[in-house]
Amino acid sequence: MLAIIIPYYKLTFFEETLTSLANQINKKFKVYIGDDASPESPSDLLEKFKGKFDFEYHRFENNLGGISLTKQWERCISLSSNEEWLMILGDDDCLEETVVSLWYNHYDEFYGKSCVIRFASKIINMKLNSDVSNLFSHPLWENAYDSYYRKFKGLTRSTLSEYIFLKESYLKYGFKNYPLAWGSDSYAWLEFPDGKMIYTINQSTVYIRYSDYSISGSNDNAILKNKARIQFLENLITQKFQFFRKKQKLELLMFYETSIKEWRKLKNNEWYFLFQFYIKNFTIISSIKFMRRFFKSTLNV
């Protein structure tokens, strides 16, 4: 069975999220709502949805998401029971009415072959008068590293809500605890597949909301996002680099370098860190350019 986990904090769009669950054609799922000590109680709203789908609501007494969003995800997941599959749905995101039914319809196609299932998605941009983006679809079967690279190149998008994953994979790998959980989902989609392909259901859509209330839409957290990006890239380079092609590796090394430079000058240990990987992935042009940047930075010329 499927558990849909909602780490709740904001009431603003929550009714739309709940309505999308109530409208599911197939109700073979259970929703677990973990209230992160929100000042906006959803209790009255939840009364309206009793009997429309199976859910449990739990209010935590301390706010954890403000300290570690991934830890909030984890304690919300711990509310679930013996469900084999998990979806973490944002409290402002919505499911098309066929999401659950198509997941079950495709079950025999992916079971035993994939640990991570994703849906097509659209962005609801509240900064552009609720403008809805074009559909983001994906290959039916895709290697996790090819999927990340497409996102890295801006050819697609990916967040948390449009994925369903095996609880067993989550328990094996967990989430990286990056600031704001920025990149924590991206790293999970590299690890949770557990060496298998990602399976996509393009025939149904998850709607992801982009607004001033969302981490993605907020402009006042740029420093924390960049810090998280650097940590993500360090983990990617040290732990997952063998799964990328040389051209991709060189692009990722440059992205790591420029991400630090957006914040400050590189330290000597960071130059050395990069140097090791440029040597391992040697090309004449990339190495010359790297050394030029190094000397320019260290000599302040």
Residue 219 has what pLDDT? Answer: 64
CATH number listed for the domain at residues 2-210: 3.90.550.10
Note the Cα 107 to chain centre separation in Å. Answer: 23
- Residue spans of the chain under pLDDT 50: none
Cα separation, 55 vs 109, in Å, equals 28
Residue 127 has what pLDDT? Answer: 63
Cα separation, 158 vs 168, in Å, equals 22
Which amino acid, 169? S
Cα separation, 266 vs 283, in Å, equals 22
Residue 214 has what pLDDT? Answer: 61
Burial of 69 (0-12, 13-18, 19+ CB in 10 A): buried
Alpha carbon distances (Å) from 240 to 160, 165, 203, 233, 247: 20, 20, 31, 10, 15
Residue 130 has what pLDDT? Answer: 72
Which H or E run includes 61? none
Residue 107 has what pLDDT? Answer: 98
Cα separation, 38 vs 42, in Å, equals 9
Residue 81 has what pLDDT? Answer: 97
Identify how many contiguous H helices and E strands the chain contains and give both numbers: 12, 10
SS3 155: coil
Residue 216 has what pLDDT? Answer: 64
CB atoms within 10 A of CB 101: 15
Alpha carbon distances (Å) from 118 to 134, 201, 272: 17, 6, 38
The candidate with the shortest Cα–Cα distance to 290, out of 269, 274, 268, 301, is: 274
The candidate with the shortest Cα–Cα distance to 174, out of 155, 145, 195, 194, is: 194
Indicate the pTM of the whole model. 0.94
Residue 128 has what pLDDT? Answer: 66
Burial 76-91 (b: 16+ CB within 10 A, else e): bbeebeebebbbbbbb
Residue 134 has what pLDDT? Answer: 92
Residue 129 has what pLDDT? Answer: 67
Query: Range(s) for CATH 3.90.550.10 in the chain?
Result: 2-210
